[in-house]
A and B are shown apart, each in its own frame.
Chain A
Amino acid sequence: MTEPLLRIRDLHVTFPTETGRVQAVRGVDVDVFAGELVGIVGESGSGKSVTFLAAMGLLPKTAIVTGSVKIGADEMLGKDARQMRAVRGKRIAMIFQDPLSALNPTHRVGRQISEMILAHNDIPREDAQDRALELLDMVGIPQPARRARQYPHEFSGGMRQRVMIAMAVANDPDVLIADEPTTALDVTVQAQILEVIQNVQGALGAAVVFITHDLGVIARVAQRVQVMYAGRTAERGIVDDILLHPTHPYTQGLINSIPSLGNQRLTPIPGAPPNMLRPPSGCAFRVRCPHAMPVCAEGLPDLHQFGTVETACVRAEELVGIGTP
């Protein structure tokens, strides 16, 4: 049994703010093996992005991070700034959500990629530039030599995202985090980008984390999926198992919220997103859950094995068979 390439245990992230301490991540475990793509699903505020920003050490200095993040046998959370800089971009890299704002508007695209290469490789500038052109070609950008001399605003949305991908994989990272890479794109372009990511993963053999709020995308590209709510994991397992037979009412709610051709009415999840300054005690979803019981308020539920998936719903066994409310 191989060890997961990315191994996150009991991660807690708290942000002190003027109005109190925001508990963005409240005890999260993540395992990603080499060559697999794990999808992370959740609403805004679920902590899905913060978890991996913490893994990369990209949170503001005021953030309080505890737990363990291991890439291979290497623990990330204890590293000082210089050690983290050696790791970022080399062992773990990120593709950000909005490439227009994530790329420097005043630097040419080719330079932004070769900067990534030069940061971790002591090679001549020309070699880095050549490699940048190869990368642009690999992600499917035509006329790479001409394009490399252009600025981000001269690219379309999909092309910009390809540039971001090329930049992220420039140094063959072990772990690749894709933070909502298709959210800002049209649906048709989405499909192309997903293909690029899959190709890249195949070529690298990296462990890929794909963060999104779109279940449809998960169904297409992910092998396993982890559903997050209010800074904790709701359930996780193989994609087909979770999407076809969800064990957690939140996942069920997400699936029900998707408009489909047959249904006449939409069934949204009632209530409002959780206030992460003072989350509800116990299972945070209980204030919106149609199956909530007093037992749900007692203590933070951990994941337990239920069939082929791990779930945090304490009533999962009782609720089998209760589908659409």
Chain B
Amino acid sequence: MVRFIVRRLLWMIPTLLIVTFLVFVAIRVGTNPVAAYLRLNPRASPEKVAQFKHVNGLEGSIPNQYFSWLRRFLTWDWPRSIAGNRPVWPNLKDALANSFVLGGLATVVGIGIGLVVGILAALRQYSKFDTAASTSAFVGISIPPYVSAVLLQLLFAVYFTRWLGLHHPFLPTSGVYPPGHRGFDIILRLKHLILPTIVVAIQIIAIYTRYMRASLLDVISSDYLRTARAKGISERRVIVSHALRNALIPIVTVATIDIAGIVGGLIITEGVFEYPGAGKFFLNAYTAGDFPSLMPWMVIVVVFVVLFNLLADVLYAWLDPRIRLE
């Protein structure tokens, strides 16, 4: 097991190099950093432009550019953002933290509810609960995140407020705290988190409900479950120790595939709700063509996804003894 992990981590390095190189080329060619810089700093002197080009490694051939960027990135000598000439890392750090809070909360809530509903739906197949749960899950994956975001905003910010005769919106629809607020207030923080969390969680719940239900149904109709019943053990043992134990294995694969989807949902949700997370960070940087901000973001996302995949593979092998890791 340890050898497997070490080997995978070692493989990560060339993979990351190749992927970041491709991303670098794509973004470098796609955005035009110099033009973007000039757009945001129209009165920059030629020396400043040259310095900008130098600092961002925009001279020379593409591979040279990549390696000079890489060198600066790894030595923590990051160029400053185009917009406002601010260092990238502090903003990025805060944005990542905010996204972890939102994403983490939505994931915990989403997976928790999704698995439970999926299990219950499978155990009561064809019942009203099952039909309702399956249909809801189906509708859930059919609603694009921005649609649910807008509709929820409409409902909670506008209509609830009106119906309840409040001055302030019933549930806030933007930001982390009301404008001008200082300091840390858990209640306010949670209030601002409610709507975005719901939006992200809807997708998660829908996916996990469907997959858990399908996986458990599959296991329930398997031969070894019939054998378990033939032993005369209690039904609860059959379900928990035999059925669930095996049904949870494919769910791990779902989690792997889904992580990119969750990040995508975060981006959209943060965009609609003006939530200052990594998603909003990306949208801002992209719109401005802010190359120095985009590249670190990309690297972090790729590393995160690759590490997550590794974790899921290890978990999968641990759960399923048929998978030999060597």
Interface residues of A (CB under 8 A from B): 56, 58, 81, 84-90, 93-94, 96, 98, 101-107, 115-116, 119-120, 151, 153, 167
Contact = CB atoms under 8 A, between A and B. Distances in A.
Contact of A104 (B228, B232, B234, B235): B228
Interface stretch (B63-71, B147-155, B197-205, B219-227): B219-227
B245 A106 contact: yes
Which 7 A-B pairs rank lowest in CB-CB distance, beginning with the nearest?
A89-B232, A88-B232, A101-B223, A89-B231, A119-B233, A104-B224, A85-B232
B230 interface: yes
B320 interface: yes
Given A81-B235, A98-B223, A153-B321, A104 B242 contact: yes
Nearest to A118: B233
B325 to A, nearest CB: 14
B231 A88 contact: yes
Contact of A93 (B226, B230, B235, B321): B230
14 contacts: A56-B230, A87-B232, A88-B231, A89-B231, A90-B232, A96-B226, A102-B223, A104-B227, A105-B246, A106-B246, A107-B245, A119-B231, A119-B234, A151-B322
A84 B235 CA distance: 12
Contacts of B233: 85, 89, 115, 119
B319 interface: yes
A70 to B, nearest CB: 18
B8 interface: no
Given A58-B226, A101-B223, A106 B231 contact: no
Contacts of B231: 88-89, 115-116, 119, 167
Contacts of B232: 84-90, 119-120
Contacts of A151: 321-322
B322 A105 contact: yes
A94 B223 CA distance: 12
A106 B230 CA distance: 18
B73 to A, nearest CB: 43
B53 interface: no
Contact of A105 (B234, B235, B321): B321
A183 to B, nearest CB: 14
B60 to A, nearest CB: 56
B227 A106 contact: no
A136 B284 CA distance: 67
Nearest to B126: A62
Interface string B231-245: 111110000001001
Contacts of A93: 230
A87 B222 CA distance: 22
B79 to A, nearest CB: 51
A86 B232 CA distance: 6
A106 B320 contact: yes
In this complex, the interface size class of chain B, counting residues with CB under 8 Å from chain A, is: 20 to 34
Nearest to A85: B232
Contacts of B222: 101
B229 interface: yes
Contacts of A84: 232
A105 B222 CA distance: 11
B223 A89 contact: no
A93 B222 CA distance: 18
Contacts of A90: 232
A309 B325 CA distance: 59
A249 to B, nearest CB: 34
Given A96-B227, A98-B223, 18 more contacts: A56-B230, A85-B232, A87-B232, A89-B231, A96-B223, A96-B230, A101-B223, A102-B224, A102-B226, A102-B227, A104-B246, A105-B322, A106-B249, A119-B231, A119-B233, A151-B321, A151-B322, A153-B321
Nearest to A111: B241
A96 B226 CA distance: 9
B226 A106 contact: no
Contacts of B228: 104
Nearest to A153: B322
A89 B246 CA distance: 22
Contacts of A104: 224, 227-228, 242, 246
B230 A58 contact: yes
A88 B229 CA distance: 8
Contacts of B242: 104, 107
A179 B249 CA distance: 29
Nearest to A91: B232
A308 to B, nearest CB: 35
Contacts of A153: 321-322
A81 B320 CA distance: 31
Contacts of B230: 56, 58, 88-89, 93-94, 96
A103 B322 contact: no
A149 to B, nearest CB: 11
B21 to A, nearest CB: 41
A93 B223 CA distance: 15
B229 A106 contact: no
Contacts of B227: 96, 102-104
Contact of A106 (B234, B235, B321): B321
Contacts of A81: 235
Nearest to B321: A151
A58 B221 CA distance: 12
A250 to B, nearest CB: 29
B224 A101 contact: yes
A86 B223 CA distance: 21
- Which of B222, B224, B319 has the most C-beta atoms of chain A within 10 angstroms of its own C-beta? B224
Given A105-B322, A151-B321, A85 B234 contact: yes
A89 B234 CA distance: 12
Contacts of A167: 231
